[in-house]
Amino acid sequence: MVVDGFPATAPNNFPISLGLHFRPCIAMRFRVVDSRYTPPLIEVCSSSFESPCIKDKAFSRNITMCTKYYDTFIYCIAVIFAVYTTATSAAVNTEPWWKKVAEKQGPMVCAEEHVTGSDRKFSIPWTGGSLCGSETIVRFSCCPGYERTEGERGCPLVKPLKNLAETAQEIGASQFVKQADQSGILPLLTSRGAYTVFVARDKAFQSLTKEQEKALNGSKKSRSRPSVLLYTIVEGRVTAEELPNSLSTLYREGAASVTMYPSGLIAVNCIPLVATNIEATNGIIHVTESLLLSSGRNTITDLLVKTPGLSTTATALKRAQLSNELRDKKALTFFSPTDEAWESLPAPFVEALMEDPNSLKVLLQYHIVNSVWCSRVMSGATELETLEGSKLQLSCNETGQYVNEARILEKDFTTRNGFLHQIDSVLIPNRVRSLAEYLEIHGMTYFLKLVDVSGIFTLLTRQAPYTLFVPPDEAFEALSNETLSDILSQPSLARTVASFHVVSGRQLTSNTIDGQQLTPLQSQDQTLRLRIHKKVGAELIK
């Protein structure tokens, strides 16, 4: 017997049942809270045959072990005690391993996860040892604001607190303080407060985009305009654990989006926090992997229109009447193909798509996820459900990050209602593909060759609705070599066979009724009949 993962055995004369209440019996119940077992409550039922056992209750699981033999009663107690001990131990041992190691080192020792071959690091280990194919290493050091002292374990010595500006310089964010001074907001960091500040270390300023440099320089030249660095400052002391989903800053344009992941990692506008809760006399500092700047009031649609190289996607959104819908939605992720990606598609396909708003809408919805996805916090393969209803497969390795087969180019553009990523290919859902494309993608080689020889291939490349009943390759291989050779080499015979597997219109199995008759393409004198079976489902018979 296995009780929630804990093995137990019983003698042959000891009947065990779930939900069958024999008397006398022992009922054992324990709750599951946050995936941890609380100590199980042991209850002994009345020995009276008239008295019922304890029944199942909400959020609890009962396992009832019953016996008519008094000599096994003690054995029952022993089994229950063993499960009790194991469950109690499991409840205690849920703390992450790195926290246990840090605690063994002494007080105020913190863990950091470093990505080998790069300068990336995180305030908590969260990747499981690998980040997109690169190995990660966990290192332990003194928590911010503490240091070692001779003869003592851990980091018991508390450093004297300094103001926000001095503390930022101490942790390697001198450029941030310099920019704050040039923008005229240094007094906020030196003598006012209390504030929560999201600072970036000096190295982050070496990789600023042109837009970010322009925004910073604009703030320095015009003191009448509010500094964009105000976007990094929040009123009051807010620890990392207390950060709300939407973070109001001192900057007037827009709030910052906070995402807390199950692993414990926290990202603000898709930028991971690499150090948290660094105390200062007039506030608290969180360190971001790159500089946190506002996207202004732009929505995803606005950004598509303004960004060079994304004009085709912007036009497609307008034709599909999705522009306004995107403006109203929040917390979206949009994988936008570049103009070059659209140009790589066959021109007739793109032209037909642009003239078909319904198909175009389906295709664009396949690029949109109704949740936040950030490239910087991706450690391995994952799936995302799109507005179209299908799922995207995301993966990464040393060469880059991918959505399906498309490479993600420019990443994590922040907008007022979500995030934008540029990709190098157009993602095409099955609902938009022609039947011929679907056959080719799914490797239905024999049937594809059959329709090609038959001359009806061009028919299947159109957007007009048809339904195909496609035999697998194994069915073709089951034919004699002579028959297979004939139908794949004689156009008239191939047309007869292929047409018998094609009907006009969309025939869904969900709408099929038993005995329904269908007329094959170019075979008006013959019909196909559908049969419904309980186990098989719909069956096509001649």
Q: Do residues 313 and 255 share a domain?
A: no
Range of the domain at 150: 104-157
Q: Establish if 39 belongs to a structural domain.
A: no
pLDDT of residue 65: 41
Q: Do residues 445 and 492 share a domain?
A: yes
Q: 117 by DSSP, 3-state: which?
A: coil
pLDDT of residue 18: 32
Q: Do residues 165 and 145 share a domain?
A: no
Boundary (domain end) residue, out of 368, 389, 423: 423
Q: Establish if 63 belongs to a structural domain.
A: no
Q: Establish if 344 belongs to a structural domain.
A: yes
The DSSP bridge pattern shows strands 418-423 and 332-337 to be parallel
Question: How far, in Å, CA of 180 to CA of 232, rounded?
Answer: 11
pLDDT (tens digit, 9 = 90+) per residue, 310-339? 999 999 999 999 988 888 888 899 999 999
Mean pLDDT of 233-259: 91
Q: At what angle do helices 347-354 and 311-319 cross, to 10 degrees?
A: 40
Q: Do residues 376 and 490 share a domain?
A: no
The end-to-end CA distance of the chain, in Å, is 52
Specify the DSSP element, H or E, that contains 527: none
User: Peptide bond before 240: cis, by omega within 30 degrees of 0?
Assistant: no
Helices (H), 11-94: 73-92
Q: Do residues 378 and 412 share a domain?
A: yes
Q: Establish if 42 belongs to a structural domain.
A: no
pLDDT of residue 464: 66
Strand-pair partners of 64? 27
> Is the CB of residue 463 less than 8 Å from the CB of residue 356?
yes
Q: Do residues 228 and 325 share a domain?
A: no
Give yes or no for residue 532 having a pLDDT over 70.
yes
All residues at 6 or more sequence positions from 77 whose CB lies less than 8 Å from its CB, including other chains? 26
Question: How far, in Å, CA of 18 to CA of 13, rounded?
Answer: 17
> Which segments of 17-78 are extended strands (E)?
25-33, 36-37, 41-44, 60-66
Q: How confident is the model at residue 340 (pLDDT cuts 50, 70, 90)?
A: very high
pLDDT (tens digit, 9 = 90+) per residue, 402-422? 999 999 999 999 898 899 999
CA 509 to chain centre: 32
Question: How far, in Å, CA of 466 to CA of 503, rounded?
Answer: 6
- Count structural domains, the chain: 4
> Which segments of 56-133 are extended strands (E)?
60-66, 109-115, 121-122, 130-131
DSSP state of 464: S
Tracing tokens 């908590």 back to the chain, one arrives at 124
Q: Establish if 501 belongs to a structural domain.
A: yes
Q: Do residues 174 and 151 share a domain?
A: no
Give yes or no for residue 387 having a pLDDT over 60.
yes
Give yes or no for residue 499 having a pLDDT over 90.
no
Q: Do residues 416 and 455 share a domain?
A: no
Q: Which of 30-34, 226-230, 310-314, 385-389 has the lowest average pLDDT?
A: 30-34
Boundary (domain end) residue, out of 157, 179, 197: 157
Higher pLDDT, 365 or 505: 365
pTM of the model: 0.68
The DSSP bridge pattern shows strands 400-403 and 406-407 to be antiparallel
Give yes or no for residue 444 having a pLDDT over 60.
yes
Q: Do residues 176 and 278 share a domain?
A: yes
Helices (H), 489-541: 491-499
Q: Do residues 135 and 193 share a domain?
A: no
Question: How far, in Å, CA of 35 to CA of 216, rounded?
Answer: 46
Mean pLDDT of 27-46: 34
Give yes or no for residue 157 having a pLDDT over 50.
yes
Q: How confident is the model at residue 349 (pLDDT cuts 50, 70, 90)?
A: confident
Q: How confident is the model at residue 249 (pLDDT cuts 50, 70, 90)?
A: very high
Question: Per the structure block, which two tokens stand in for 291?
Answer: 């500089």
Higher pLDDT, 234 or 84: 234
Tracing tokens 């008397």 back to the chain, one arrives at 23
Q: Do residues 342 and 445 share a domain?
A: no
Q: Which of 204-213, 292-301, 378-387, 454-463 has the highest mean pLDDT?
A: 378-387
User: What are phi and psi for residue 486, nearest 5 degrees?
Assistant: -65, -50
Q: Establish if 312 belongs to a structural domain.
A: yes
User: What are phi and psi for residue 139, nearest 5 degrees?
Assistant: -120, 150
Question: How far, in Å, CA of 124 to CA of 290, rounded?
Answer: 17
Question: How far, in Å, CA of 225 to CA of 38, rounded?
Answer: 56
Q: Do residues 378 and 394 share a domain?
A: yes
Question: Per the structure block, which two tokens stand in for 469?
Answer: 């009943």
Using left for φ > 0, alpha for ψ between -120 and 50, and beta otherwise, residue 19 falls in left
Task: Give the Cα-Cα-Cα angle 390, 392, 397 (nearest 5 degrees).
Answer: 165
Q: Which of 37-41, 238-242, 373-377 has the lowest average pLDDT?
A: 37-41
CATH code of the domain in which 526 resides? 2.30.180.10
Boundary (domain end) residue, out of 157, 177, 193: 157
Q: Establish if 10 belongs to a structural domain.
A: no
Q: Establish if 397 belongs to a structural domain.
A: yes
Among 79, 80, 66, residue whose Cα is nearest residue 13: 66
User: Peptide bond before 352: cis, by omega within 30 degrees of 0?
Assistant: no
